[in-house]
Amino acid sequence: MTNLIPPGLILVLCALLIPCTRGYLRSLLLLGLPIFVLFLIWQVPDGTSLTIAFLEYSLQPIHGSAVGRLFATVFAIMLFAGNLFALGQARTTELTAAAVYAGSAICITLAGDLLSVFVFWEIMAIASTAVLWSAGTAESYRASIRYLLVHLLGGVILMIGIAGHVNETGSLVFTAMQTDSLAHWMILVGFLINAAAPPLSAWLADAYPEASPSGSVFLSAFTTKTAVFVLLQGFPGAEILIYIGLFMVFYGIIYALMENDMRRILAYSIVNQVGFMVTGIGIGTTMALNGVAAHAFTHIIYKALLLMSAGSVLYMTGKRKCTDLGGLFRTMPVTTACGIIGALAISAFPLTSGFISKSMISQAAFDEHLATIWLLLAAASAGVFLHAGIKFPWFVFFQKDSGLRPADPPLNMRLAMILFAALCIGLGVYPEPLYAILPYEVDYVPYTVHHVVAQLQLLLFAGLAFFVLLPQMKRTLTISLDFDWFYRRAFPFIIENIFSVIGKVYHPIQQSFFVRLNRGLAFISQRNGGTSRLLSHTYPAGSMVMWVTVILAVYLFLSFITH
């Protein structure tokens, strides 16, 4: 079957069965389908398994590779855990859209040509918009429109780049490219928009927190990590990505530290973590690319775990602002424990999954003697511990007693969190299974005395700084302005005022013109003897048809004799 139809497309097609099922049958479909697709992913051999002729080009919708298989694997695992978390509380629209969303992402990871990538890229944008829209609130609807507009813009830019690339090379094969032409720059920009790179990065923090508790979990996994995959495949070693990635790293930290909304904290944290991956792609060595692939794998798991814990709090309390929360550890022990494990993993704490992946990127910078880059990544690791490792669990589960006494969420939501918490610890303790499926041979030992001691020192210093500066860390009911202020507020205001000014100038001119025109027509009519003369005379429709026919015949005759 994997030689005839892409595994991700099977998932997309089977997603259409979800609205037709109910009860245990739906649960079986939602949990069994990702496992079945995961099995199919591992049946795809390396190289091209399916070729389709399209015009004068060849499409490769099934092209196996180690890095593609790794991303497809974690996408399938993510869909399983996300569906488990969503059982009983997500709408049918959301569950269906999430399956299409995940299937499209898997199709991209196993595609060998740019046209297939683009087609599923756009399907993914539409499906993710449906996931966001299905939250059913006015805020989610408005956010979904803004989200869709940004991604459609990115798709148009990507398509222009692909068309230019095909014109230059005559091929649709998706291979590594150089930033040596405008077409390749357009492709790079199209990829970076989905990666939430500046300046169009605010769409992520604008949209993801408005989704349902389970919708934000789905959204966190596929769009940005699919962008990481195509950047890794298309632009490894592009130096510009180092600086873009570092900007994303610190941009995410700064905005997350200023935020009061717990899900916006985690949304900005996604930008921060993707920045680590983009930086690693820019470094471009085998160590760095292995680190990017490993970090993408672990990030999907621990970020989903964090959003599951935040979603559980939202689901049980209806509140999302840090100023409204606190003291929840008393009645939500499972959610608190899982949230802490996710926070430790994103902070790269030893014996968690983040430590065995993020450290590979830092090691790659050190190996290439990029001292400044290495120091910035180390500083960023401390910043991550500040906003996601301490701030999120502290203000949500501890700090003051908010008086809220919610219980832990339903069993399926707890099981999903426990599953991913176990993976965070399991991969941190025993990383060899993950290292075995990385795209290149791994020559790296994470648990050396130097690595462990250096990381613990960094984290302990960051923790001390947090509690010393705790009065400054406390959030208030403020709004953090981002770049989206320009296209949400400034540009509409400017355009509205421009048209207002134009209207004030145009309407008098228009009125004066028509007054003068009417006077001229009245004067001509009077000169021709009133209303019954030439300009106001009525003619039968038949005579007009006759004259049109005569003119057409004359035109055809002249055309014939001149040729």
Residues 387 and 514 in one domain: no
Residues 108 and 255 in one domain: no
Residue 229 lies in a domain: no
Radius of gyration of the chain (CA): 29
Residue 227 lies in a domain: no
Residues 427 and 522 in one domain: no
Specify the range with the lowest mean pLDDT, choosing from 118-132, 146-160, 279-293, 509-523: 509-523
Q: List helix spans (H) across 87-212.
A: 92-109, 114-133, 138-169, 182-194, 202-207
Residue 229 is predicted with a pLDDT of 96
pTM: 0.86
Position 554 pLDDT exceeds 70: yes
Number of domains in the chain: 4
Question: Distance (Å, rounded) from C-alpha 145 to C-alpha 122?
Answer: 15
Domain that holds residue 560: 536-563
Residue 131 is predicted with a pLDDT of 95
Residues 390 and 509 in one domain: no
Q: Give long-range contacts, CB 8 A cutoff, 24+ apart: 484-489.
A: 484/146, 484/202, 484/203, 484/206, 488/146
Residues 198 and 257 in one domain: no
Question: Distance (Å, rounded) from C-alpha 520 to C-alpha 499?
Answer: 30
Residues 186 and 291 in one domain: no
Position 409 pLDDT exceeds 80: yes
Residues 552 and 522 in one domain: no
Given CA atoms 442, 445, 450, 452 in this order, what sign does their dihedral have? positive
Token pair 């470094």: residue: 283
* Range ranked top by mean pLDDT from 110-119, 380-389, 473-482, 515-524: 110-119
Which whole number is the average pLDDT over 193-214? 91
Residues 193 and 266 in one domain: no
Q: What is the pLDDT of residues 521-530, one digit of tens each?
A: 777 666 655 5
Task: Tell which residue, 128, 203, 141, 133, has the closest CA to residue 488.
Answer: 203
Question: Distance (Å, rounded) from C-alpha 66 to C-alpha 366?
Answer: 25
* Range ranked top by mean pLDDT from 234-243, 257-266, 474-483: 234-243
Residues 43 and 173 in one domain: yes
Residues 393 and 442 in one domain: yes
Residue 223 lies in a domain: no
Q: Phi and psi for 424 in degrees, rounded to 5? A: -60, -45
Residue 186 makes CB contacts below 8 A (sequence gap 6+) with 157, 158, 160, 161, 164
8-state DSSP, 146: H
- The kind and range of the H/E element at 499 are helix 491-527
Residue 191 makes CB contacts below 8 A (sequence gap 6+) with 158, 227, 230, 231, 234, 235
Question: Distance (Å, rounded) from C-alpha 431 to C-alpha 176?
Answer: 28
Residues 563 and 513 in one domain: no
Amino acid letter, 243: Y
